[in-house]
Amino acid sequence: MQAIELIDQQYFSRQYRFMAPAQDLSAHVVYYWLLDLRQPQLQQQEFRELLLANLCSSLVLNLGAPFEIYDAQNKFLHTSTHSELLGYRPTAVAYRHLFNNYLVGIKFKPASLNYLFHIKGAEINGKTLPAGDAVPNISRLEAAVYEAVNPDQIKTLLDEFLRAQSPLPADSRHFHYVQQSLNSPALLQSGYQLKKLAALLYLSPRTLERYFTASLGVQPKHCLSILRFREAVMQYVQHGYKADWEALGYHDFSHFRKDWRRRAESRKQKAILANEQSI
């Protein structure tokens, strides 16, 4: 489930390179990506990207200059100088890249990073985590990727790296249910409602909540709210007010507009509070 990215699309398409994982890894990986800003013509340029919300976590190999993370009000949060795991971001966050930034990343499907690397949801939710603290032999992968001569070689290295991870936990039941919840037609069938979604998976709502907390460190209602709004925005772009709002869990177009205004007002209030606290 990908994030909504509000960025300069023309610049974005020129600088990023995307690669599909091997078929046997597609259950866990959305895509691999590459950002190489080492070209001399980029020395005076700056690149910012804003993510509205992101339920996908990433492993980012930082092979060049640092990059910075800011909140939606442009308040500095963090400088990434080494390879890191970037956690779930339920609110807007901006990334700032400069010349000599060279990044190679794996964008995981929800819960897959936690599952493959045995990381609890609370450790990564809204946070960054040094890759060296959580991923064995990360320096070896960094060196191999840096020496790779083309994207195809990088893709092969990432495929082999993921396959070589330690055996998956025996008790993986909760992960599979979370994966089904977020990456299947069950979302549309349930109308993004927790009770209906749990029933489709033959679980109680309380059990599904427990599985989400163990995998992601967030409540399923919060995830469903983000996913519903994200899908509704895309449907509105494609179909306008004639979109099938009931299928998306809204009563009608007016209900969707109220949700949009509520989210916009919430972000405005957070910005006002941040300014008051800085005085």
Average pLDDT score over the chain: 81
pLDDT digit string, tens, across residues 6-18: 444 444 556 788 9
* Whether residues 109 and 137 fall in one domain: yes
Same domain? 156 vs 177: no
Per-residue pLDDT for 181 more than 60? yes
- pLDDT cut 70: percent of the chain above it: 86
- The pLDDT of residue 1: 31
Same domain for 270 and 132: no
The CA distances from residue 23 to 30, 163, 166, in Å, are 11, 12, 19
Average pLDDT over residues 249-261: 85
Tell me, yes or no, whether 37 and 76 share the same domain: yes
* The residue to which tokens 């979370």 are assigned: 178
| Domain count along the chain | 2
Task: Give the tens place of pLDDT for each residue, 77-122.
Answer: 999 999 999 888 777 788 888 889 999 999 998 778 888 887 877 7
Domain identity same for 154 and 190: no
CA dihedral 208, 213, 217, 219 (to 10 degrees): 50
Mean pLDDT for the stretch of residues 173-190: 78
Same domain, 131 and 255: no
- Picking from 266, 231, 263, the residue whose alpha carbon sits closest to that of residue 248 is 231
Residues 176-200 have a mean pLDDT of 82
Least confident of 121-125, 154-158, 225-229, 274-278: 274-278
Residues 59 and 133 reside in one and the same domain: yes
Owning domain of residue 136: 5-163
**Confidence class for position 269, pLDDT limits 50, 70, 90:** very low
Domain boundary among 163, 190, 221: 163
Q: Is residue 248 one of the residues assigned to a domain?
A: yes
Q: Give a yes or no: residue 207 inside a domain.
A: yes
pLDDT of residue 173: 67
Do 51 and 94 sit in the same domain of this protein?
Answer: yes
Task: Check whether residue 108 and residue 227 sit in a common domain.
Answer: no
What CATH number corresponds to the domain at position 130?
2.60.120.10
Which range in 55-64, 168-177, 217-226 is most confidently predicted, on average pLDDT?
A: 55-64
Report if residue 168 sits inside a domain: no
CATH number of domain containing 195: 1.10.10
180 with 151, same domain: the answer is no
For residue 35, what is the enclosing H or E element? strand 29-36
Q: Is the pLDDT of residue 149 over 50?
A: yes
Residues contacting residue 66 through CB under 8 Å, at least 6 positions apart: 79, 80, 81, 101
Shared domain for 58 and 144, answered yes or no, is yes
Distances (CA, A) of 69 to 75, 76, 128, 268: 9, 6, 10, 20
Q: Is residue 133 part of a domain?
A: yes
> Which of 139, 163, 187 is a domain's end point?
163
The answer, yes or no, to whether residue 50 has pLDDT greater than 70, is yes
Same domain, 157 and 27: yes
For position 100, what pLDDT does the model report? 92
